[in-house]
């Protein structure tokens, strides 16, 4: 048998390879001079991210391509999501400096681990192969388990790491079991193949892929914090170091929804077997996230619940897309993810200011007096929270509006109503946080917040720019992803084989 080594288009794997490599370099620096070359580590990390960002920007205009036996896929959807991940990580790096010093976390551990987690997230969104998806998810998760427990002297941090670890591994088992069923039904790990295989099934062969899809949804739903797989979210968000929480909130949500979008598109032929379940999950996710957030007394925890609610909104966007891809675009999801990353990272960045020693100082009353000590950061916090509420002209408003309109266009009126009501409910706790920051008198054992450093200021400004100006990208994102997603149209009964299209 004569066997030729297939040609590999390295440019497709270059972005996440570069990120992983940067992480390795940062680790080498740390091992060479333990706990000394902090500035160099930050510099190397940010440089690597900047290079990756530029590289991805150049790839944004390229046509879709595959390599490594079709295991790596690059289209506009994946490039955009990777750009969001890289940018969010860069902002986390910018504001982490002071926080890590305050908490006495080793720079040489945080930066490489975060970079590897990022590379995992990037792998996750740039594949439509379940094997790769699983590997990417595990790279992301395992690094995040470590990161959550990074503040080793804090019991809360360790507790959150253990919870995240056990539940994450548990969810992985479901994901894998689902993959196994899909594999059994199609003989392939590739989503387009699976989509093709599940299109013309008979009554006897149908159950296996349906169960498979369900179990995969459980695994990804855990990552995306959908009810009832959401319970880890507030605990881990609260316990983990704040910069890790910011990273987790933005990057792992982007990765989870990117993967979820691809799985749902592939599972579109089985639409009728999962749609209604996700419909109710979306409602439950929005409502439970917001309702429980109402009674929270800790900013990080409240934002954790808020992230659950936002996952619900994002699921509405995905459901609208899978219901009628001709009328609405996958761009809504991407656009909302851009906005969500900007506002949530920004909010956590400002909250991280309130950390002092072992205490994270993230209770509402810990924010008292913040306005007097860090007026700029507080104003920015107001901006981010306004965007999370969805007050125009922030990106949060336009994102929600797009989702709302998508839901209406595809006939998901109840979802649109629940979304609108939930937006109103959510205003209550976001406003509580704002008010806390503006209370002038300080309690005992204060002030706890640091003065924002230069990195913090830049990072917050980047997020603010995102919150204010990302709206301008709305049309572009919609258009770009429309062309990118064309090949993955989830039209039941009229499925194209992506691989054949591209290989031809």
Query: Quick one: which of 23, 234, 399, 447 contacts other proteins (CB under 8 A)?
Result: 234
List b or e across 104-130, with b for residues whose CB sees 16 or more CB atoms inside 10 angstroms. ebebbbbbbbbbbbbbbbbbbbbbbbb
Q: Which stretch binds other proteins (CB under 8 A): 232-240, 404-412, 464-472, 480-488?
A: 232-240
Query: Quick one: which of 39, 63, 228, 392 contacts other proteins (CB under 8 A)?
Result: 228
Query: Quick one: which of 292, 303, 473, 488 contacts other proteins (CB under 8 A)?
Result: 292
Which residue number, 153 or 365, has a Cβ lying nearer to other proteins?
153
For residue 119, state whether it binds other proteins (rule: CB under 8 A): no
DSSP H helices, 149-206, are 155-186, 191-197
Q: Which stretch binds other proteins (CB under 8 A): 82-90, 138-146, 257-265, 339-347?
A: 138-146
Which residue number, 41 or 308, has a Cβ lying nearer to other proteins?
308
Q: Which stretch binds other proteins (CB under 8 A): 81-89, 135-143, 362-370, 470-478?
A: 135-143
Residues 192-221 that bind other proteins (CB under 8 A): 197, 199-203, 205-207, 210-211, 214-215, 217-218
Which residue number, 311 or 395, has a Cβ lying nearer to other proteins?
311
Coil, strand or helix: which one is 49?
helix
For residue 500, state whether it binds other proteins (rule: CB under 8 A): no
Q: Which stretch binds other proteins (CB under 8 A): 157-165, 319-327, 383-391, 435-443?
A: 157-165
- What is the spatial distance between Cα 135 and Cα 19, in angstroms, rounded to a whole number? 16
Dihedrals phi, psi of 65, to nearest 5 degrees: -150, 160
Tell me the closest approach of the beta carbon of residue 227 to other proteins, in angstroms.
Answer: 8
For residue 472, state whether it binds other proteins (rule: CB under 8 A): no
For residue 503, state whether it binds other proteins (rule: CB under 8 A): no
Which residue number, 279 or 376, has a Cβ lying nearer to other proteins?
279
For residue 165, state whether it binds other proteins (rule: CB under 8 A): yes
Within 10 angstroms of residue 14's Cβ, the number of other Cβ atoms is 16
Within 10 angstroms of residue 327's Cβ, the number of other Cβ atoms is 12
Residues 20-59 that bind other proteins (CB under 8 A): none
For residue 504, state whether it binds other proteins (rule: CB under 8 A): no
What angle do helix axes 331-352 and 454-469 make, rounded to 10 degrees? 150
For residue 68, state whether it binds other proteins (rule: CB under 8 A): no
Query: Quick one: which of 19, 79, 87, 146 contacts other proteins (CB under 8 A)?
Result: 146
Tell me the closest approach of the beta carbon of residue 451 to other proteins, in angstroms.
Answer: 29
- What is the spatial distance between Cα 417 and Cα 68, in angstroms, rounded to a whole number? 45
Which residues are paired to 67 by β-bridges? 72
Burial of 1 (0-12, 13-18, 19+ CB in 10 A): exposed
DSSP state of 199: T
For residue 272, state whether it binds other proteins (rule: CB under 8 A): yes
Coil, strand or helix: which one is 67?
strand
- What is the spatial distance between Cα 117 and Cα 152, in angstroms, rounded to a whole number? 19
DSSP 284-322: HHHHHHHHHHHT--BHHHHHHHHHHHHHHHHHHHHHHHH
Burial of 372 (0-12, 13-18, 19+ CB in 10 A): middle
Q: Which stretch binds other proteins (CB under 8 A): 27-35, 103-111, 144-152, 355-363?
A: 144-152
Which residue number, 201 or 408, has a Cβ lying nearer to other proteins?
201
For residue 105, state whether it binds other proteins (rule: CB under 8 A): no
Tell me the closest approach of the beta carbon of residue 150 to other proteins, in angstroms.
Answer: 10
For residue 13, state whether it binds other proteins (rule: CB under 8 A): no
For residue 496, state whether it binds other proteins (rule: CB under 8 A): no
Q: How many residues does the chain have?
A: 504
Tell me the closest approach of the beta carbon of residue 296 to other proteins, in angstroms.
Answer: 8
Which residue number, 273 or 438, has a Cβ lying nearer to other proteins?
273
For residue 489, state whether it binds other proteins (rule: CB under 8 A): no
Which residues are paired to 72 by β-bridges? 67
113 touches 23 (CB < 8 A):
yes
- What is the spatial distance between Cα 338 and Cα 474, in angstroms, rounded to a whole number? 10
Dihedrals phi, psi of 210, to nearest 5 degrees: -65, -45
The alpha carbon of 305 is separated from its chain's Cα centroid by a whole number of angstroms, namely 15
Query: Quick one: which of 60, 152, 356, 359 contacts other proteins (CB under 8 A)?
Result: 152
DSSP H helices, 324-448, are 331-352, 370-373, 375-389, 395-409, 413-438
Q: Which stretch binds other proteins (CB under 8 A): 182-190, 402-410, 467-475, 477-485?
A: 182-190
Tell me the closest approach of the beta carbon of residue 386 to other proteins, in angstroms.
Answer: 20
Dihedrals phi, psi of 74, to nearest 5 degrees: -125, 120
Burial of 10 (0-12, 13-18, 19+ CB in 10 A): exposed
Query: Quick one: which of 48, 149, 192, 466 contacts other proteins (CB under 8 A)?
Result: 149
354 is written with which tokens? 């309130």
Tell me the closest approach of the beta carbon of residue 44 to other proteins, in angstroms.
Answer: 24
Residues 297-356 that bind other proteins (CB under 8 A): 301
Query: Quick one: which of 20, 171, 255, 316 contacts other proteins (CB under 8 A)?
Result: 171
């Amino acid at each position: 048998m004569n066997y030729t080594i297939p040609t590999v288009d390295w440019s497709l794997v270059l972005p996440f390879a570069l990120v992983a490599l940067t992480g390795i370099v940062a680790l080498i620096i740390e091992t060479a001079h333990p706990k000394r070359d902090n500035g160099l580590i930050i510099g190397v990390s940010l440089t690597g991210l900047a290079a990756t960002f530029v590289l991805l920007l150049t790839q944004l205009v390229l046509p879709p391509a595959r390599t490594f036996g079709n295991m790596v896929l690059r289209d506009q959807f994946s490039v955009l999501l990777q750009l969001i991940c890289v940018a969010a990580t860069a902002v986390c790096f910018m504001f982490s400096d002071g926080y890590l010093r305050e908490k006495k976390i080793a720079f040489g551990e945080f930066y490489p681990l975060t970079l590897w987690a990022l590379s995992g997230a990037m792998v996750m969104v740039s594949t439509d192969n379940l094997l790769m998806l699983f590997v990417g998810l595990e790279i992301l998760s395992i690094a995040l388990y470590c990161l959550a427990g990074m503040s080793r002297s804090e019991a809360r941090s360790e507790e959150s790491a253990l919870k995240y670890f056990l539940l994450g591994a548990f969810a992985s088992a479901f994901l894998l079991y689902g993959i196994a069923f899909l594999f059994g039904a199609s003989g392939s790990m590739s989503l387009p193949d699976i989509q093709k295989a599940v299109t013309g099934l008979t009554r006897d062969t149908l159950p296996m892929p349906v169960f498979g899809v369900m179990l995969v949804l459980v695994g990804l739903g855990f990552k995306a914090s959908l009810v009832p797989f959401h319970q880890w979210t507030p605990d881990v968000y609260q316990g983990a170091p704040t910069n890790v929480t910011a990273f987790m909130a933005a990057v792992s949500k982007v990765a989870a929804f990117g993967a979820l979008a691809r799985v749902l598109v592939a599972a579109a032929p089985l639409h009728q077997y999962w749609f209604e379940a996700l419909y109710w999950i979306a409602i439950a996710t929005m409502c439970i996230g917001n309702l429980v957030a109402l009674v929270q007394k800790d900013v990080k925890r409240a934002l954790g619940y808020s992230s659950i609610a936002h996952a619900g909104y994002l699921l509405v966007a995905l459901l609208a897309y899978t219901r009628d891809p001709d009328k609405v675009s996958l761009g809504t999801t991407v656009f909302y993810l851009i906005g969500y990353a900007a506002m949530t990272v920004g909010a956590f960045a400002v909250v991280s200011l309130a950390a002092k020693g072992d205490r994270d100082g993230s209770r509402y009353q810990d924010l008292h007096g913040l306005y007097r000590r860090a007026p700029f950061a507080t104003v920015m916090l107001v901006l981010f929270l306004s965007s999370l509420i969805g007050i125009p002209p922030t990106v949060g408003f336009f994102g929600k509006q797009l989702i709302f309109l998508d839901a209406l266009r595809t006939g998901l009126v109840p979802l649109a109503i629940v979304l609108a009501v939930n937006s109103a409910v959510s205003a209550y706790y976001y406003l509580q946080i704002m008010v806390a920051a503006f209370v002038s008198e300080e309690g005992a054992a204060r002030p706890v917040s640091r003065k924002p450093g230069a990195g913090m200021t830049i990072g917050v400004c980047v997020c603010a720019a995102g919150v204010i100006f990302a709206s301008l990208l709305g049309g572009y994102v919609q258009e770009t992803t429309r062309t990118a997603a064309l090949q993955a149209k989830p039209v039941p009964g009229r499925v194209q084989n992506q691989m054949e299209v591209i290989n031809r």
